[in-house]
Each structure stands twice: as structure tokens, then as C-alpha cells.
Amino acid sequence: MSYDSAMEFSIIKQHFTGLGAPSPSEVHLGIGDDAACWSAPSGCLHVMSVDTAVADVHFPKAGNWYDIAYRSVGCAASDLAAMAAQPAFATLAVSLPDHQSEQLSALSQGLEQALSDAGLALIGGDTTSASELILTLTVHGWAQRPITRAGAKAGDLIFVSGATGLAGAALQAGLQNELPSAWWQAYWRPQGRFDLIQVVSEQATAAIDISDGLLADMTHICQRSGIHAHIDSASLDLSWRETLNEENALQLALTAGDDYQLLCTAPPSARAEMAAAGFTVIGKCLPGTPSVSVSRDGQPLTFSTLGYQHQS
């Protein structure tokens, strides 16, 4: 279905207006004008990130539009949690291919649920047609002290907010197949860890969300902070692995992305408070080359994107 500007207006009104959390009082103007207007609360920095999700690149084209919308919002919102920013609002640029009206309703409902769950109000966007479904979300939040990738110090501990590898296991198993529900949830219902931003903003020296894989994202912290990271693979939670063998599960936990857990560094004095919030210690920051090393049972492991081998 292609459409003219009257149809575009009715699509915006019916499917993209009033979605998500209530608009914060700092938003002076939302959907319906040429632009949105807002101010930041005093003492806070405005934190913003943009993410594009393209059919068959970032999600399977055959996926349900509710699920695709939910996942797109969850992935985008997670960048705010990774900065320890309070979620505030979002904008959406959507390119729509030919579709059934039920698909557009499902998209709208998925957006509504995911934006509400993340605490974001939808305050603007753009609607166009294209040959494939593309969703571009900007997410905006506020932080008194954004936590960057650059503050890790030698001697800090490395913390992760939950198990990793589940979304990778879902992808590996084929998303269209029947999956263990925890794997399905990890892939299709990513949750920015806004429940942890208070403790992260108070305790963490650096933070990132795991979108590319634990090792890849830890490497970003190492490079920005100028530290070496050592990870003890025995400390990773593989309780989700079902029938996968341990090697495969460990590889996914270390190298698969898409789980959107938080990876943080903090001094040893923060350990009890971070643990009470649900973080697990998985390693330590050391002086040295900005890279990540991993050991299992005291033996070094080496990794490639394809997997890892024991070093002999």
C-alpha cells in the first residue's frame, strides 16, 4: 500500500499519536507541529542516542510487526540505561513497505508496550513508504552524571547485570523455530536496565550495554579507558543453556550480542552494593594493553568471532 499525505496524516493520528509513557513536563510541544520542543531539567545533561533497525539486517523480515517494534524500541532505549540516564522521550522515523492494516496495528501496539515499559513518551517522528520496513528511533534522557566508557581504572572490578548468550542462542537456533521461552524473551523483548541506573550512576566508573558481545563491548571500555580487562569465564551464568553443550554456551555468552545487559566497572569498595542490585563480578581491570583476556580454570582461552580454542 502506498499513500498520499491525507493517508499519512491518518496513519500518524491513528497509529503513532499518544504512545508510550506520559510526556514529561519538560516537553513543551509533541506530535502535531513542525517540530517538538523541550527543555532539560536543571542540573542535568540531555543524553540522546539514535538506532536504526532494517528488515533482514537487524530483524527477520518475516517477524511479527509487534515483536519487531518491541525489539527496536528495547535495543534503542538500552543506550540510555548504558549512560545511567533517566528515560524521557523518543522519536520514530518509520519507513513502511506494502502491508496489511493488522500489521500496522500490531506495530503500533508493540511500540506502545515497549515505550511504556522503557518509560519513554513518543513525541514526534516521520512516516514514509519504502520497499522494506525500517524503524529509526531516537531516544532521549537526562543524567546528572552520565557514565561513559572512559572511566575504568586498574584495580576496578568488572560487573555484569545478568546472563549473556540467550539472544545469541535464539538466533543460532533459528528465530522462527520453537525456542526456550527465556531465549525468545531475550531476543524479542530486550529491556534497557533502567532498574539499575541509580546504583550505576553512584558506583560505576564506566558502563556499556552488551549489544555486540561481552568481549567486544568490554574491549570498547578497555580502549576508551586505557586498561586491560581480565575475565574469569567460570563466573559467567550459563544456567540458561538447556541442551547446548557448555563450550557452545560459553562461546555465546562471551561473543554473542543482543542481550542488552549492562557491563560496568567499579572499585572493589562498590562490590556489596553492586551485588545487592543484582550485578555479578566477572573479572578485574589491570594496567596493560587495552584488550581483554579470558581464563577458565586458570588456563588462558583465546577467541575469534567464530569461537575459541584452548591455548597450548
286 binds, among ligand ADP, Mg ion, none (CB under 5 to 8 A by kind): none
Instruction: Please compute, for residue 234, the number of CA atoms within 13 A of its CA located in the half-sphere on the CB side.
Output: 6
| Residues of the shown chain interacting with ligand ADP in the complex, contacts defined by CB under 6 A | 12, 16, 31-34, 92, 94, 122, 124-127
Q: Of 87 and 257, which has the nearer Cβ to ligand ADP?
A: 87
Where on the phi/psi map is residue 138: left (φ > 0), alpha (ψ -120 to 50), or beta?
beta
Residue nearest ligand ADP by beta-carbon distance: 125
Three-state secondary structure along 210-271? CCCCHHHHHHHHHHHHCCEEEEEHHHCCCCCCCCCCHHHHHHHHHHCCCCCCEEEEECHHHH
| Residues of the shown chain interacting with Mg ion in the complex, contacts defined by CB under 5 A | 34
Q: Of 77 and 274, which has the nearer Cβ to ligand ADP?
A: 77
102 binds, among Mg ion, ligand ADP, none (CB under 5 to 8 A by kind): none
Q: Considering the complex, what minimum distance in angstroms separates the CB of residue 77 from ligand ADP? A: 16
Q: Considering the complex, what minimum distance in angstroms separates the CB of residue 191 from ligand ADP? A: 22
Three-state secondary structure along 41-95? CCCCEEEEEEEEEEECCCECCCCCHHHHHHHHHHHHHHHHHHCCCEEEEEEEEEE
Q: Considering the complex, what minimum distance in angstroms separates the CB of residue 111 from ligand ADP? A: 8
Q: Of 4 and 34, which has the nearer Cβ to Mg ion?
A: 34
32 binds, among Mg ion, ligand ADP, none (CB under 5 to 8 A by kind): ligand ADP
Q: Of 37 and 234, which has the nearer Cβ to ligand ADP?
A: 37
74 binds, among ligand ADP, Mg ion, none (CB under 5 to 8 A by kind): none
What is the distance, to the nearest Å, from the Cα of residue 183 to the centroid of all Cα atoms in its chain? Answer: 15
Q: Of 35 and 306, which has the nearer Cβ to Mg ion?
A: 35
Q: Considering the complex, what minimum distance in angstroms separates the CB of residue 36 from ligand ADP? A: 6
Residues with Cβ within 8 Å of 118's Cβ and at least 6 positions away in sequence, in order, are 20, 21, 73, 74, 77, 87, 139, 191, 192, 194
Q: Considering the complex, what minimum distance in angstroms separates the CB of residue 71 from ligand ADP? A: 17
Q: Considering the complex, what minimum distance in angstroms separates the CB of residue 63 from ligand ADP? A: 19
3-state secondary structure of 15: helix
